[in-house]
Amino acid sequence: MSQKETVVKSITALDNGPKVLKLYMEMCAKCGTCATQCPVYYGDESRKYNPPDRSDLIRRIFKKYCTISGKFLGPLVGAGDVDEAELQGWVDRFYSCTGCRRCATYCPFGIDNSVITRKGRAILDQLGLTPATMKKVIEVSLKTGNTDGASVEAFKAAISFLEEEMKDEHGIDIKIPVDVEGAEYLYVPPSGDVLVNPEATTGIAKIFHVLGMGDKWTMSSLYFDGANYGLFTGNDADMKKENQNCVEITKKLKAKYLLMGECGHAYRVMKMMMEPGKWWGDLPFSIINCMEWTADLIHRNKLQFDKSKNTRAVTYHDPCNFARSCGIVEEPRAILKATCMDYRDMYPCGAENWCCGGGAGLSAMDSLHDFRMKVSGTKKVEQIRETGAKYVAAACANCKRQIIQLNEYHKTGWDVGGVHDMLSRSIWIDGKAANRKEYEA
């Protein structure tokens, strides 16, 4: 099949669904509202970053082949054919949308340009044009079960390091069980929360310890990374394959709860796509998120904290996938307010938050560093600066990476970490919080 045929086939297929895409192809009123709400267009008002202009790359061809007006009137109604010479340029176009869905929140018709972006990336994937970094992450992740490509030994070494840390902090043994069959909870964070910013994971371990459930949970050495880059490349087969690994392992370990860590898109794929879509039929376990779980425990007074361990001003960055796509907004705030002295919201926040600028996998692409620093991340820097916060909590490994880089690039002087990190530093175990190096600047 020629490139053109591949593109046309993939786009004309939309006439039969999914429904969202068919509607979005036919409906945009070209009113220009989404541009004012898009983090990318905010950072650079170039035409190539105007959301409907990007979406029109696909819409144009759909109109040409699937609508009566497009067939007869062509460019007059914004219809046009595939231009093979242009396809290479699509890579930059479709990898400059962060998939944040903010446009959909403000569009009078709820048109979600990120869905069209994902379609564009799916076409690029079929053409073999997916950026090398993304392809690599998927390969590694399918092979090793984590996006960092860490071996089972490396994972186990990291876990014993965390256990030692906790011993230093509290003077007692707090375990992180690995590969325990029959444990009630299987905890699946993003790999970064084991290998890079591991305090969120120690936070979870400490909660189980405090609840007296230290032996009722486990992690898996074969699946300790919920990240799923198939969502980002638009390749459904990859996305499902990765997801299936996790489901199989949860079943094998006979866990009753799949406790997802601080990773927005991982939870979204599980909770909003796999479960309602019944990819693997009915599940013998329930999918919960660590922030809902912890916030509920706090609400029921099961945990106590020494807030004086976290005195600096703290703000929370809502990962788009958690806030807009899963409705998890109050829970992280409940945790931060319980564990920190000075919590401040950004404006706007929650489901109206601005993307960090690294969504939809962009955060992992070093080739986009300049774009992320100077364009897509602009608004986030302004927003965080306005709060005056010194610690930025983000419940997502990709957001964290992006905000850490923004901090370095713009010399803003923030610390960046997770939500359970603050819990780990302040949770009471046997009447006192962790005793370790001074965090306060």
The binding site for ligand SF4 (CB under 6 A) comprises 28-34, 38-40, 51-52, 97-103, 107, 109, 111, 113-114, 117, 355
Q: How far apart are CA 287 and CA 15, in angstroms?
A: 33
> Which of ligand SF4, another protein, none lies near 113, with the C-beta cut-off 5 to 8 A by kind?
ligand SF4
Q: Mark 103-132 with x for binding to another protein (rule: CB under 8 A) and - for no binding.
A: -xxxxxxxxx--x-----------------
Please count the residues of this chain forming the interface with another protein, following the rule CB under 8 A: 59
| Binding residue for another protein, selected from 44, 53, 163, 415, defined by CB under 8 A | 53
| Secondary structure class of 229 (helix, strand, coil) | coil
> Which of ligand SF4, another protein, none lies near 114, with the C-beta cut-off 5 to 8 A by kind?
ligand SF4
Q: In this structure, what token pair is assigned to residue 268? A: 């979204």
Binding status of residue 12 toward another protein by CB under 8 A? no
Range in contact with another protein (rule: CB under 8 A) among 25-33, 151-159, 195-203, 384-392:
25-33
Q: How far apart are CA 302 and CA 290, in angstroms?
A: 15
> Within its chain, how far is the Cα of 143 from the centroid?
21
| Binding residue for another protein, selected from 323, 395, 406, 427, defined by CB under 8 A | 323
CB atoms within 10 A of CB 226: 28
Residue whose CB is less far from another protein, 15 or 342 = 15
Binding status of residue 45 toward another protein by CB under 8 A? yes
> Which of another protein, ligand SF4, none lies near 100, with the C-beta cut-off 5 to 8 A by kind?
ligand SF4
Cα pseudo-dihedral 290, 293, 295, 297, rounded to 10: -140
> Which of ligand SF4, another protein, none lies near 38, with the C-beta cut-off 5 to 8 A by kind?
ligand SF4
Residue whose CB is less far from ligand SF4, 113 or 202 = 113
Residue whose CB is less far from ligand SF4, 101 or 400 = 101
Residue whose CB is less far from ligand SF4, 56 or 238 = 56
CA atoms within 13 A on the CB side of 424: 24
Residues 350-379 that bind another protein (CB under 8 A): 350-352
Q: What are phi and psi of 393, to 5 degrees?
A: -95, 130
Residue among 52, 5, 44, 1 nearest 27 (CA)? 52
| Binding residue for another protein, selected from 7, 8, 10, 24, defined by CB under 8 A | 24
Contact (CB, 8 A) for 288 and 260 = yes
Residue among 320, 338, 339 nearest 328 (CA)? 320
Cα pseudo-dihedral 62, 66, 67, 70, rounded to 10: 60
| Secondary structure class of 219 (helix, strand, coil) | strand
Binding status of residue 78 toward another protein by CB under 8 A? yes
Q: What share of the chain is helix, strand, coil (3-state, %, to 5)?
A: 55, 10, 35
> Which of ligand SF4, another protein, none lies near 332, with the C-beta cut-off 5 to 8 A by kind?
none
CB of 131 to ligand SF4, least distance (A): 17
CB of 100 to another protein, least distance (A): 11
Binding status of residue 18 toward another protein by CB under 8 A? yes
Binding status of residue 50 toward another protein by CB under 8 A? yes
Residues 172-191 that bind another protein (CB under 8 A): none
Binding status of residue 341 toward another protein by CB under 8 A? no
Binding status of residue 396 toward another protein by CB under 8 A? no
CB atoms within 10 A of CB 14: 24
Q: How far apart are CA 31 and CA 34, in angstroms?
A: 8
Residue 250, burial from CB neighbour count under 10 angstroms (0-12, 13-18, 19+): buried
Binding status of residue 41 toward another protein by CB under 8 A? yes
Binding status of residue 286 toward another protein by CB under 8 A? no
Q: How far apart are CA 376 and CA 41, in angstroms?
A: 8
Close Cβ partners of 107 (under 8 Å, ≥ 6 residues apart) = 33, 34
Q: At what angle do helices 19-27 and 113-126 cross, to 10 degrees?
A: 110
> Which of ligand SF4, another protein, none lies near 224, with the C-beta cut-off 5 to 8 A by kind?
none
The answer to whether the peptide bond before residue 18 is cis (omega within 30 degrees of 0) is: yes
- What residues make contact with another protein under the rule CB under 8 A? 16-20, 22-24, 26-37, 41, 45, 47, 50, 52-53, 56, 67-69, 73, 75-78, 101, 104-112, 115, 272-273, 276-277, 323-327, 329, 350-352
